[in-house]
Amino acid sequence: MEAITDFVSAIVLLLNFIVVPGLSYGSQLALGALGITLVFGILRFANFAHGDTMAFGTMMTILVTWWLQSKGINLGPLPTALLALPAGIAATILLLVVTDKTVYRYYRHSKAVPVTFMIASMGVMFMTNGIVRFVIGPNDQRFLDGERFIVSARNFKSMTGLSEGLSIKVSQGLTIVVAIVLVALLFWFLQKTRTGKAMRAYSDNEDLALLSGVDPDRVVLVTWIITAILATIAGTLYGLDKSFKPFTYLQLLLPMFAAAIVGGIGNPIGAIAGGYVIAFSEVMVTYAYKKVFVYLLPQSLEPQGLLQLLSTDYKFAVSFVILVLVLLVRPTGILRGKVL
């Protein structure tokens, strides 16, 4: 009997520290990587400003959330930020459309090389970052309200009688649900609607699409709008789950790029797969497995060390090593993106 409870405890431990965080972090990365991959597929450059676009969207959402909270409006158990999201998205769409009109359009029309776009996106990154820090400051901001947990560790323990607790935060559950809904909508849009088909055609073969009467300005506009939606939602979910700090969003750029490339850049399904691959490897490599083995092995074989492959600060290294491996072994990514 004890062997079975120990086994179940080990499973719960893994669920609690690897599966749940991995799923929610992976969903956040996947949504971010989708934005990067869309911009890459349509506009054909690696957008360095994407992390700061997320920060901007989140900031606008936070500002509206605070305003709503001050008016006493809330969503009960759910975070008020959900109510503020549309406003944040609208502001981000405005930002991206304005940057496109003022910055990228010129290079698009003059047929500049992708590297020029990339350097321009560094400039946009600086400006957006400046705005975010100017408006909300460089420090941590908390805007989570409503219920904290769907299942708290204490309730889980008293319910099951196990010695290990499983906790699922509202923000984690919300992240996973929202990500599924959003991705489903995106794929429906890309596969079924006229505009979506035009986007795919444009990404696949620009000249042919233009000959077939696809309006490039419209495609680009829609791409930025979708990117804004994805970025704001991804940023807000990340902010709800962890906390909002402009600098961390800049750092998210690397795992998101890694996710997009690992999955196959320009390929939306690849971006999602890449997001989960990166997230799970980060969580798995930096988790200390000692307790799991304490449950699984007999006492005499109890492990000495923490059984942690790498310290948590190396999580960037993990996403990067995967990135390099994929680039060397399979340059098009797991799911065959395009190499322009």
Q: Which residues bind other proteins (CB under 8 A)?
A: 45-46, 103, 106, 114-116, 118-120, 122-131, 133-135, 137-138, 247, 250-251, 253-254, 257-258, 261, 305, 311, 313-314, 316-317, 319-320, 323-324, 327-329, 339
Determine the Cα–Cα distance for residues 324 and 262; give it in Å rounded to an integer: 9
136 or 183: CB nearest other proteins: 136
CB of residue 88 vs other proteins: minimum separation in angstroms?
20
DSSP secondary structure of 49-73: THHHHHHHHHHHHHHHHHHHHHTT-
115 or 184: CB nearest other proteins: 115
Determine the Cα–Cα distance for residues 282 and 295; give it in Å rounded to an integer: 23
Q: Which residues pair with 78 in a beta bridge?
A: 75
44 or 157: CB nearest other proteins: 44
196 or 255: CB nearest other proteins: 255
CB of residue 238 vs other proteins: minimum separation in angstroms?
18
212 or 251: CB nearest other proteins: 251
124 or 219: CB nearest other proteins: 124
CB of residue 76 vs other proteins: minimum separation in angstroms?
30
CB atoms within 10 A of CB 227: 24
CB of residue 143 vs other proteins: minimum separation in angstroms?
18
| Angle at 337 (CA atoms; ends 331, 340), nearest 5 degrees | 80
CB of residue 270 vs other proteins: minimum separation in angstroms?
15
Structure tokens at 336: 């065959």
| Residues contacting 253, CB < 8 A, separation 6+ | 48, 50, 51
Side-chain-side CA neighbours of residue 259 (13 Å): 33
What are the respective helix, strand and coil percentages of the chain, to the nearest 5? 75, 5, 20
CB of residue 263 vs other proteins: minimum separation in angstroms?
14
